[in-house]
């Protein structure tokens, strides 16, 4: 083609391209999902938490100190961060140095070295870690100074020895990523060791139960919790974990059922394997759920007597501080802990590309092919991961979260992170103001409460 | 001589702490518990080869998570009897409510009367022998172990079960998803005879039982099975 004609051709093409208009109803991601569904006939399963935008702690700001409020000197004046959990009934409450715990993630979803690293990191930082839907491994018990043992509907690996070995017990009623959904672990990850721990045939696609096998409501659960207390001599704090749904009532019922601690997981909370439609469309965000839980505790005069741990999208010390200011006693992290261990690391970019993904996007944790060796049961992949280094990195990250939360607490003049309060907060959006029940910045307006 | 504990004078907490004194010691002892009056959580978390005879009806979770002990309830049992038992023997001379033997990993649970719904739900290795009949949804998601029913079984027996083996002498109202009848071979008759004998049940001929187990069609997700989910 002569140069002139080619140039015109290119210009036409460019013009055509820039006239392409993506549909808001059918953006490329939606088109791709329809194509995928038509090709495979099965819903999309993935790990990670919700990817849609929801109102979050980012929509809140701290006011800080001013004429009428004194700040504390950074580095010089103390700002304590310790937390005691389980003061209601347990003979041996849990003492944490920092208000951040590591959430329950199953051996099965994660490799044994990854579980060990979570224990190591939590222990260095002075906090607890949690088992998951697959039982307690000796590695994680050994490397976790404070280990919370989950009692889930599946009861995989559940046994009285591990109950007695645990420092606290968490009855899992629901998870934020999938309130009302059971666990899922696909065949690729049911290695002989995982299968043996769960009493299942190796290689099957395991779908664990969503309801507990031996109780159905809060009245039964009360008796169930008494059984756990009897078995463990009333020593251990008993947590009840709920997914954020009807949070005000769920929290009140958890208190009625005898919880020492309520663990509340918002809809953004992570998961190892769940249907995308479940992750994105069920449950309410962490922000409004937290407010409802605190209100329920206050209405029952149980705030700070039954402790509240909140999770679901906690990433920064600002998230930690805001959650505490809204009334939580501690927060818990899942996805962020995995990222701290090395998940989605840029050094694995080529490997991610081979899996049709990219560092920063990888969420196919259910497939067991994790290049970082964390969400896998493949020995070769798991061997890529160094649990000592992973533990260090997690401890570093937990320290940063704590330092950041302290910075914000001091800026608000608080000598303990628990002294942060809703008073210290304002909202950037009307949605967040309504959900968190704090005023829109620059106004004294909380939607639903008084006039603008 | 056996020790006697009167629940009319004492408490569940005190009884269980007495019984827990033996935990891990390997010691044997015999206890008789009177006036249970339907109390919950009796003799839970035992971990020694002791015998406990409870004279009367019990509430929820009696003998829960049992290891090694022999617990006999001379009466009826509430929901979740012997839940998550690991080993030992639990015998109910009367009938049992829902979820008897739920998620239990080992040992033997004998129910001389009937068992209600969800008997053996998610069982993980326990053997359960019921002299009477069992209710609906029994052996739901049963993973391993054996459930023997000398009477009838209710609706949806063995729904979504894995490798547990079910033996039923009477009528089966209906089978759950992926549960099928399987041939009764000599080895099955043999294991059944042994189980009946261990349970102390006479007058039930192993030849009269039918065997049920997993068709293993739902073990791996297959679009063409979508109707079954
Ligand atoms: C890989 C992975 C595995 C998980 N496994 C469990 C589990 O076994 N039991 C459970 O209660 N929650 C499980 N969760 C949910 C976490 O306990 C926690 O609720 C959630 O990750 C918190 O939200 P975040 O990830 O945004 O911090 C899992 C989460 C992840 C990411």
DSSP-assigned letter for residue A361: T
Q: What are phi and psi of A239, to 5 degrees?
A: -100, 150
Mean pLDDT for A370-397 is: 97
Residue B229 has what pLDDT? 58
Band (A90; pLDDT cuts 50, 70, 90): very high
For B141, left (φ over 0), alpha (ψ -120 to 50), or beta? Answer: left
- 3-class secondary-structure state, position A373: coil
Contact assignment for B84 to A160 by CB distance below 8 Å: yes
Cβ atoms B153, B170 nearer than 8 A: yes
Whole-number Cα distances in Å, A134 to A102, A115, A193, A208: 16, 12, 11, 10
CB within 8 Å of B63: residues ≥ 6 apart: B42, B43, B44, B46, B52, B69, B71, B73, B81, B82, B85, B88, B90
DSSP H or E stretch at residue A217? none
Integer-rounded Cα Rg, in Å, for chain A is 23
Q: How many CA atoms lie within 13 A of A418 on its CB side?
A: 17
Residue B224 has what pLDDT? 73
Residue positions counted in chain B: 229
Residue A452 has what pLDDT? 61
Residue A410 has what pLDDT? 97
- 3-class secondary-structure state, position A413: coil
A-contacting residues of B 170-209, CB under 8 Å? Answer: none
- 3-class secondary-structure state, position A154: coil
In chain B, which residues have their Cβ closer than 8 Å to the Cβ of A205?
219-221
Residue B186 has what pLDDT? 96
Relative to the CA of A241, which ligand 1 atom is closest?
11
Residue nearest atom 3 of ligand 1, based on CA coordinates: A105
Whose CA is closest to B179, among B196, B165, B193? Answer: B165
pLDDT tops 70 at residue B91? yes
Q: Where are the alpha helices (DSSP H) in A342-386?
A: 349-354, 379-382
Q: What are phi and psi of A171, to 5 degrees?
A: -85, 115
Q: What are phi and psi of B213, to 5 degrees?
A: -160, -170
Residue B226 has what pLDDT? 67
- Concatenated DSSP letters for chain B? --EEEETTTS-HHHHHHHHHTTTTT----EEEEE--TT-SSTTTT-BSS-EEEEES-B-TTTTTT-BS-EEEESS-B-TTTTTT--SSEEEESS-B-TTTTTT--SSEEEESS-B-TTTTTT-EEEEEEESS-B-TTTTTT--EEEEEESS-B-SSBTTT--S-EEEESS-BS-B-TTEEEE---HHHHHHHHHHHHHHT--S--GGG-EEEEE--SSSS--GGGGGG-
Cβ atoms A249, A290 nearer than 8 A: no
Residue A81 has what pLDDT? 98
Cβ atoms B28, B46 nearer than 8 A: no
Whole-number Cα distances in Å, B61 to B13, B82, B95, B146: 14, 6, 14, 20
CB within 8 Å of A101: residues ≥ 6 apart: A122, A127, A128, A129, A130, A148, A309, A330, A331, A332, A333
Match 């329950």 to its residue by tokens. A104
Cβ atoms A79, A72 nearer than 8 A: yes
Cβ atoms B178, B139 nearer than 8 A: no
pLDDT tops 70 at residue A111? yes
Band (B228; pLDDT cuts 50, 70, 90): low
Contact assignment for B20 to A187 by CB distance below 8 Å: no
Residue A226 has its nearest CB partner, among B41, B67, B125, at B41
Calpha distance A273→A302 (Å, rounded): 34
Top-confidence residue, A3 or B184: B184
DSSP-assigned letter for residue A103: P
Whole-number Cα distances in Å, A357 to A349, B62, B218: 8, 51, 30
In chain B, which residues have their Cβ closer than 8 Å to the Cβ of A204?
162, 219-220
CB within 8 Å of A35: residues ≥ 6 apart: none
Domain ranges of chain A: 57-420
Superfamily of the domain at A57-420: Aldolase class I (3.20.20.70)
Calpha distance B191→B200 (Å, rounded): 14
Residue A17 has what pLDDT? 80
Residue A19 has what pLDDT? 87
Mean pLDDT for A28-52 is: 95
Mean pLDDT for A229-234 is: 98
Per-residue pLDDT tens digits for A134-158:
999 999 999 999 999 999 999 999 9
Residue positions counted in chain A: 452
Q: How far is B65 from chain A (nearest CA, A)?
A: 6
Residues A351, A357, A362, A368, CA torsion sign:
negative
> Could you tell me if the CB of A269 is within 6 A of ligand 1?
yes
> Which residues of A have a CB under 8 Å from any CB of B?
40-42, 154-155, 158-160, 163, 186-187, 198-201, 203-205, 209, 213-215, 220, 223-224, 226-227, 230-234
Average predicted confidence (pLDDT) for chain A:
95
pLDDT tops 70 at residue B227? no
Mean pLDDT for B166-184 is: 98
B107 touches chain A (CB under 8 A): no
Whole-number Cα distances in Å, A185 to A110, A125, A156, A363: 11, 30, 12, 14
Residue A21 has what pLDDT? 93
pLDDT tops 80 at residue A4? no
pLDDT tops 80 at residue A420? yes
In chain A, which residues have their Cβ closer than 8 Å to the Cβ of B144?
199
Average predicted confidence (pLDDT) for chain B:
96
Residue nearest atom 10 of ligand 1, based on CA coordinates: A104
Cβ atoms A59, A75 nearer than 8 A: no
DSSP H or E stretch at residue A275? strand A274-275
Terminal-to-terminal C-alpha distance of chain B: 55
pLDDT tops 90 at residue A3? no
Per-residue pLDDT tens digits for A159-198:
999 999 999 999 999 999 999 998 888 888 999 999 999 9
Contact assignment for A42 to B121 by CB distance below 8 Å: no
> Could you tell me if the CB of A341 is within 6 A of ligand 1?
no
Q: How many CB atoms lie within 10 A of CB B17?
A: 13
Per-residue pLDDT tens digits for A439-449:
999 999 999 88
Residue B37 has what pLDDT? 98
Band (A18; pLDDT cuts 50, 70, 90): confident
Name the pTM for this structure: 0.96
Match 């559940």 to its residue by tokens. A158
Whose CA is closest to B52, among B23, B78, B79? Answer: B23
B68 touches chain A (CB under 8 A): no
- 3-class secondary-structure state, position A156: coil
Per-residue pLDDT tens digits for B178-214:
999 999 999 999 999 999 999 999 888 999 999 999 9
In chain B, which residues have their Cβ closer than 8 Å to the Cβ of A223?
40-41, 59-61
Mean pLDDT for A351-358 is: 97
Residue A184 has what pLDDT? 83
Q: How far is B54 from chain A (nearest CA, A)?
A: 17
Q: How far is A211 from chain B (nearest CA, A)?
A: 11
Contact assignment for B44 to A231 by CB distance below 8 Å: yes
């Amino acid at each position: 083609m002569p140069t002139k004609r080619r140039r015109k051709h290119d210009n036409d093409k460019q013009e055509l391209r820039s006239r392409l208009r993506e549909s808001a109803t059918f953006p490329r991601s939606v088109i791709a999902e329809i194509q995928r569904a038509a090709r495979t006939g099965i819903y999309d399963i993935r790990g990670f938490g919700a990817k849609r935008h929801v109102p979050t702690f980012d929509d809140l700001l701290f006011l800080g100190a001013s004429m009428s409020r004194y700040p504390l000197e950074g580095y010089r004046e103390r700002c304590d961060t310790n937390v005691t959990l389980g003061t209601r009934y347990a003979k041996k409450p849990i003492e944490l140095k920092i208000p951040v715990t590591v959430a329950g993630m199953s051996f099965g979803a994660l490799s044994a070295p990854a579980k060990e690293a979570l224990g190591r990191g939590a222990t260095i930082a002075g906090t607890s870690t949690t088992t998951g839907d697959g039982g307690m491994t000796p590695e994680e018990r050994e490397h976790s100074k404070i280990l919370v043992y989950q009692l889930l509907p599946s009861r995989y690996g559940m046994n009285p020895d591990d109950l007695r070995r645990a420092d606290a017990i968490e009855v899992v009623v629901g998870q934020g990523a999938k309130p009302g959904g059971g666990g899922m672990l696909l065949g690729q990850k049911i290695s002989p060791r995982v299968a043996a721990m769960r009493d299942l045939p190796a290689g099957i696609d395991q779908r664990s139960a969503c309801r507990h096998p031996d109780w159905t409501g809060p009245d039964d659960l009360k008796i169930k919790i008494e059984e756990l207390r009897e078995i463990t001599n009333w020593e251990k704090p008993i947590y009840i974990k709920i997914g954020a749904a009807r949070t005000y009532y769920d929290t009140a019922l958890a208190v009625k059922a005898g919880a020492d601690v309520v663990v509340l997981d918002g809809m953004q909370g992570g998961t190892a394997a769940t249907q995308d439609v479940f992750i994105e469309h069920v449950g309410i965000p962490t922000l409004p759920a937290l407010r409802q839980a605190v209100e329920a505790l206050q209405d029952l005069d149980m705030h700070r007597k039954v402790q509240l741990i909140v999770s679901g999208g906690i990433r920064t010390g600002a998230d930690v501080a805001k959650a505490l200011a809204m009334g939580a006693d501690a927060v818990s992290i899942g996805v962020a802990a995995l990222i701290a261990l090395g998940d989605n690391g840029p050094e694995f970019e080529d490997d991610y590309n081979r899996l049709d993904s990219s560092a920063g996007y990888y969420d196919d944790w259910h497939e067991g092919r994790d290049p970082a060796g964390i969400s896998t049961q493949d020995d070769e992949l798991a061997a890529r991961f160094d649990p000592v280094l992973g533990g260090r990195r997690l401890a570093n990250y937990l320290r940063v979260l704590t330092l950041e939360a302290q910075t914000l607490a001091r800026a608000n003049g608080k000598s303990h992170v628990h002294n942060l309060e809703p008073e210290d907060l304002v909202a950037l959006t009307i949605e967040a103001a309504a959900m968190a029940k704090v005023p829109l910045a620059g106004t004294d307006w909380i939607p639903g409460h008084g006039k603008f | 001589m056996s020790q006697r504990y009167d629940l009319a004078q004492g408490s569940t907490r005190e009884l269980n702490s007495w019984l827990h004194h033996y935990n891990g010691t390997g010691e044997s002892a015999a206890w008789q518990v009177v006036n249970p009056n339907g109390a919950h959580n009796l003799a839970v978390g035992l971990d020694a080869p002791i015998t406990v005879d409870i004279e009367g009806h019990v509430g929820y979770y009696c003998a829960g998570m049992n290891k090694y002990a022999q617990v006999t309830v001379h009466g009826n049992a509430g929901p979740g009897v012997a839940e998550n038992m690991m080993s030992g023997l639990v015998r109910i001379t009367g009938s049992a409510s829902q979820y008897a033997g739920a998620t239990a990993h080992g040992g033997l649970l004998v129910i001389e009367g009937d068992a209600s719904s969800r008997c053996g739900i998610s069982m993980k290795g326990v053997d359960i022998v019921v002299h009477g009949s069992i209710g609906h949804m029994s052996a739901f998601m049963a993973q391993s172990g054996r459930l023997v029913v000398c009477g009838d079984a209710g609706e949806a027996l063995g729904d979504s079960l894995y490798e547990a083996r079910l033996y039923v002498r009477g009528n089966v109202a209906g089978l759950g998803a992926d549960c099928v009848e399987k041939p009764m071979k000599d080895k099955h008759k043999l294991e059944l005879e042994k189980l009946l004998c261990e349970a102390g049940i006479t007058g039930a001929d192993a030849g009269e039982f039918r065997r049920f187990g997993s068709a293993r069609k739902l073990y791996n997700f297959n679009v063409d099975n979508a109707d079954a989910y």
